[in-house]
Chain A
């Protein structure tokens, strides 16, 4: 996090943090690549923010080491790490104008007045705050304050930008706009971004990789499509979006994957059974399932009864109960839902073999 203008590569090695008897972070090892956009995702209290604060240097880890570009920075104070940081609530200096806020990190670095003027001007242009230079933070909207915070954190070209739930205070439409803007800033600056959020859709939309936390543990790291389609465990599967869980009995390896019994019908799965033998859970996203008029031998399927529907505009969310009592949600075209509900509610639920993945039974 030292050389300005160069994206940093960060390595966390066995990082742990305890606050009294509370274990906030446990044995975390993670490599953050040069210029990547990594999201730390998890519910509140999962340790993601603690990890961000450790990266920033505001919190000292109880154990483990932190390296930046191969240099041990575990004991380096925050002001010498000089990571750009955007706080929840922005933490702008209330007594300084937009311009002065953005100039602050450059002033601290004793840059010449002409350089400060030039770089602050460029940054103000880049985040679209032209005309607001002399205003105080209190005179700006939430979105504008957010831009000042981003500009202030990026103006000194830090090797890494740390963002702590920066969009939590913005309304939905503004949030989408700011997300797009942040993606653009990431591409333009090429800096390493580490972003904390509890919003899974935000994480999937923005990141090059997502790291999922729960109870102080890092559960899985991967590209958004990897963690969404191949979650390592049930928590990750459920946290990333709505998902159906169907019990499967007698799972065993088969050609191209695995086979087993779901509600007394043979089902095929393309995913590997490897560690899973016997009973397991088949997890399938609602958008990967569909409704068929009748059973087909070629496709996986079970009988179910439609119990409720929610009209979502583009599609309808249909809640069903299988014969053995499992609750299932599918997202289907509106007319399919209407048909399913009209014909005595009894339908055939199908899904392709390549969709869905196996989780250990009752597995966390």
Chain B
């Protein structure tokens, strides 16, 4: 970041309200959550101990990591293909790709989750179509399980995965690709041995951002998982609002925040913040 001192002060001033808001509405209340995790119901590390021994918490953590990993793989792969078209396609293809990337941002996550229920449920579009053409006799279980959650979350996260990739692909030196072809490499080979490795930082950034977002998903797994595929955020919700076991809920929250924070630190080692937008 360059600029004169007054430029920087101006920028700091413009960002101050956001910082203030984050402190008041996020950091401060979160300190309260941290306090609960050490004090409820009795002071001590009891909740963290429970967290390490409770089978349910463990299984939810493992499921969350598993779903996040699968969603990341699916999203980054799909986003990579879309981004190649967006950045390197013909003008018409670019417009189409841009449309596909932006439209999802205009539809709420809730609407999209119910949209997938309509598509994937036992009497949804996909099952009725597959049955009508005689491909299956019994409806497939596509929703209220991990599969449904993965589909819904990937759909939500693909547009976010696109931006770090696009940034990496745009900054790539075209001549290096020409050089590869000039040296006798086919288009396919050039793509796999030159193009993909050269967009490595974009892939890492894209994967990390998708993974971090996946860990905190609430609405999509709650609707598409149908209570059978509970993820961390839903577990925290259940502990705070339904059990109520505030201490454990708070401890899970703290672990999640610390984990996400560590991943974010890793993310910013590979990508500059401006590459994400």
Q: Which residues of A contact B (CB under 8 A)?
A: 56-58, 77-85, 87-89, 91-95, 104-105, 108-109, 152-153, 156
Contacts and interface: CB of A to CB of B under 8 A. Distances in A.
Contact of B184 (A58, A82, A88, A94): A82
A95 B183 contact: no
Contacts of A58: 178, 181-182
Interface in B160-199: 173, 175-176, 178-187, 189, 193-194, 197-198
Contacts of B183: 82, 84-85, 104-105, 108, 152-153, 156
B200 interface: yes
Nearest to A77: B181
Contact of B178 (A82, A91, A104): A91
- By size class, the interface of chain B is 10 to 19
A78 B182 contact: yes
A108 B182 CA distance: 11
Contact of A87 (B178, B184, B193, B198): B178
A108 B187 CA distance: 12
15 contacts: A56-B182, A58-B181, A79-B182, A85-B178, A87-B178, A89-B173, A91-B178, A93-B179, A93-B198, A95-B197, A95-B198, A104-B180, A104-B185, A105-B185, A108-B189
Interface of B: 173, 175-176, 178-187, 189, 193-194, 197-198, 200
A36 to B, nearest CB: 21
A93 B194 contact: yes
Given A82-B182, A93-B179, 7 more contacts: A56-B178, A58-B181, A85-B178, A85-B182, A91-B178, A93-B194, A104-B180
Contacts of B197: 93, 95
B176 A105 contact: no
User: By CB atoms of chain B within 10 A, which of A79, A88, A152 has the most?
Assistant: A79
B176 A93 contact: yes
Contacts of A88: 175
Nearest to A81: B182
B210 to A, nearest CB: 23
B186 A79 contact: yes
Given A91-B173, A93-B176, A79 B200 contact: no
B176 A94 contact: yes
Contacts of B200: 95
B175 A78 contact: no
A109 B179 contact: no
A93 B198 CA distance: 8
Contacts of A152: 183
A91 B184 contact: no
A83 B182 contact: yes
Contacts of A81: 182
A207 B271 CA distance: 46
A91 B176 contact: yes
A93 B182 contact: no
B185 A108 contact: yes
Contacts of B187: 79
